[in-house]
Amino acid sequence: MKNPLLQDWTTDFQIAPFEAISDQDFAPALDVALAEHEAEIAAIASDTREADFDNVIGALESAGEALDKVLSVFFTVAGADSNPEREALQRDFSPKLAQHSSRITANKALFARVEAVWEARETMSLSSEQGRVLMLTRRSFLRAGAALTGAEDTRMAEIKSRLAELGTAFTQNVLADERSWFMALTEADLEGLPEFVVETARAAGVEKGVDGPVVTLSRSLIVPFLQFSPRRDLRQKAFEAWVARGANGGVTDNRDICTEILQLRHERAQLLGYASFADYKLETEMAGKPAAVRQLLNDVWAPAKAQADADAEVLTAMMHEDGFNGALEAWDWRYYADKRRVAEHDLNEAEVKPYFQLERMIEASFACATRLFGLKFTPLDVPLYHEDCRAWDVTRDGKHLAVFIGDYFARDSKRSGAWCSAMRGQAKFPEPQTPVVINVCNFAKGEPALLSYDDARTLFHEFGHALHQMLSNVTYESISGTSVARDFVELPSQLYEHWLDVPEVLAEFATHAETGKAMPKALLDKLLGVATFDMGFQTVEYVASAMVDLEFHEGTPPSDPIARQAEILDGMGMPRAITMRHATPHFAHVFAGDGYSSGYYSYMWSEVMDADAFAAFEEKGDAFDGELAASLEANILSTGGSRDAAELYRAFRGRMPGVEALLKGRGLAA
């Protein structure tokens, strides 16, 4: 029987034929695809013709089609619908793929041909996009160690292979801890919880095969439990399990893995001539240097900590009034912050949540894209990898632009968090192809499914990433969509969050799940009025994580990352009752792979820009200003990595932003 992963896909829009693919297909398909790609690389390297853009860079761009198909399917299901067999395959594939990548960048004959094109670039009539792809290709070879020789070359390959193994193990350990822990609740334990939390806990109990409600480590359940449960003992138990992910001892403990990852990254950077991994990593980002990142984080830290310290005093007094003496703890903050919000702003999330139906928020995200960019979304009936998934045909003026897939609900087989990925990126070379884009979230199921306001922001955030992919309009896939500097990639996603807050959007789509009526204006005004409520807490937990990430990767790596984490936080004056948003043993952004390593700051770097960019719409007095929307698409959303990120932002806004708009947006300005 032919392997469906290796066949031409005749499905609508050439979407992967998920219903025909089994787990047994992946390993043999990968072996064939790797061999095919290696043969293509060997042909490029051994080509006797004079090196030029087409026969070197263009050939590299078009190579590996079969490999891309296999990996796009595998990593989609491995992240969003895992099982023991897929986890085993991932452990096997990670070092194999790292070794394959190392063989390509270590191919001296291939690198010589890339260098030959680079040296002759002035004599070639290259387009600006071709020049950019050439520069990025050469840079990626150099940063991968292509210029290394002998023992250093060998060691680099070993490091990359080992890091791939460790990143996979880290991810699977966190997922195992999240999957294995739950806390059973009695009917009495449910007292004081809003109905939507009770329903979610009962549904979680059914999924766990337990006769009764449970709290799990899914963020969509544990956060509202910490927010609403009056039982301090249960909040403490749940919180301590949540922050202990990856640090529970035994086979799923990540602490030694973190130590080894940091040491190997440092060694890798030094092999390439950099003082630290942070220097290596930030070289290609907008920030450029660790000092620039530290400056941003420090500029935000001081006002955020001052606000958090002031808030802590208020919350501590509230806790003492409830008869609990002593210090405010991390499992107390969300509970008393919510009580304060109700008391000071007369706003209760249980009152708000029925207005944030998942279906209506999906409609809202689509409607904003229609008004801004003229996109139309039509439901598709195509095979997908899980019954929870849905797909839409994305068109403009009758022309197909993309397929968008939404996978919104939490389940044991899905890693935590939310993300956007492209199973196929946009490109015009070697032939036109339209993107297939997936948004993955972890919302709680319900009839109907209700979101918190933060959940709705997450949905808009990930859809902003999807728009960056779907509106891409470049020639080469290597620079399409989100293939941009890490501290620029969050700009489109964080910018799109602002449209959720537009009053006319909420007035139309925030309708009550039972009555169908729009959110009353008084409630809407209160909701928008508390947009910066508890922002000291949110900013402190984020900046602490970003600073720990930076400190870990600058200078000599710590022999005990957990002890070093404590030193860093103590040196910052971390408030007692606030923890890092992601503690080291489950900090997947940083340790599951290199994506956000020494780069977690990038959300805030992008936020400086997104606050300033949305201010452009506010200055126009119209969140849907057509001229600005067209400029946003032309200069940022459609351009991918075809130009320098700072150049793209200046083309849209006319200048680079300062931190003032961010502080104002977070309510932290003096």
Residue 606 to residue 37: CA distance in whole angstroms: 36
Separation of alpha carbons 539 and 150, rounded Å: 47
pLDDT of residue 669: 83
Cα 476 to chain center, whole Å? 23
Q: Could you give the 3-state DSSP secondary structure of residue 414?
A: coil
Whether residue 243 has pLDDT greater than 80: yes
pLDDT at 333: 98
Predicted confidence at residue 369, as pLDDT, reads: 99
Q: How far apart are the first and last CA of the chain?
A: 68
Residue 460 corresponds to which tokens in the numbers above?
Answer: 């808009």
The CA–CA distances, whole Å, from 403 to 269, 298, 422, 609 equal 39, 41, 10, 28
Cα–Cα distance, 640 to 645 (Å, whole number): 9
pLDDT at res. 404: 98
Tell which wins on pLDDT, 604 or 531. 604
Note the pLDDT of residue 350: 86
* Residue 98 tokens, joined: 């790292």
pLDDT at 670: 63
| Section 491-511 average pLDDT | 97
pLDDT at 349: 84
Q: Which two tokens stand for residue 226?
A: 């910490």
**Residues with Cβ within 8 Å of residue 287, at least 6 apart in sequence:** 293, 296, 487, 601, 605
Catalytic residue among 40, 61, 178, 462: 462
- Tokens 């598709």 found at: 380
Least confident of 104-108, 336-340, 526-530, 634-638: 526-530
| Residue type (1 letter), 495 | L
Query: How confident is the model over 419-434, as a mean pLDDT?
Result: 98
Inter-residue long-range contacts of 344-349, CB under 8 Å, 24+ positions, other chains counted? 345/526, 345/529, 345/530, 345/533, 346/526, 347/523, 347/526, 347/527, 347/530, 349/194, 349/224, 349/227, 349/228, 349/452, 349/453
Tokens of 390: 């849905």
pTM comes to 0.92
pLDDT in tens, 251-274: 999 999 999 999 999 999 999 999
pLDDT band at 22 (very low <50, low <70, confident <90, very high): very high
CATH code reported for the domain at 4-147: 1.20.1050.40
Per-residue pLDDT tens over the stretch 509-528 = 999 999 999 999 999 999 99
Mean pLDDT of 48-75: 98
CATH 1.10.1370.40 fits domain 354-529+603-665? yes
Q: Could you give the percent of the chain with pLDDT greater than 70?
A: 100
DSSP state of 563: H
The listed CATH number (1.10.1370.10, 3.40.50.11820, 3.40.50.720, 3.20.20.70) that belongs to domain 251-347+535-600: 1.10.1370.10
Mean pLDDT, the chain, integer: 96
Residue 416 has pLDDT above 90, yes or no: no
Phi-psi region of 273 (alpha: psi -120 to 50; beta: other; left: phi over 0): left
Residue 349 is among the residues annotated as catalytic for this protein: no
Nearest to 69 by CA among 100, 98, 37, 94: 37
pLDDT band of 211, cuts 50, 70, 90:
very high
| Residue ranges covered by each domain of the chain | 4-147, 181-245, 251-347+535-600, 354-529+603-665
Same fold for the pair 251-347+535-600 and 354-529+603-665 = yes
Is the pLDDT score of 474 beyond 70? yes
> In the prediction, which pLDDT does 458 show?
98
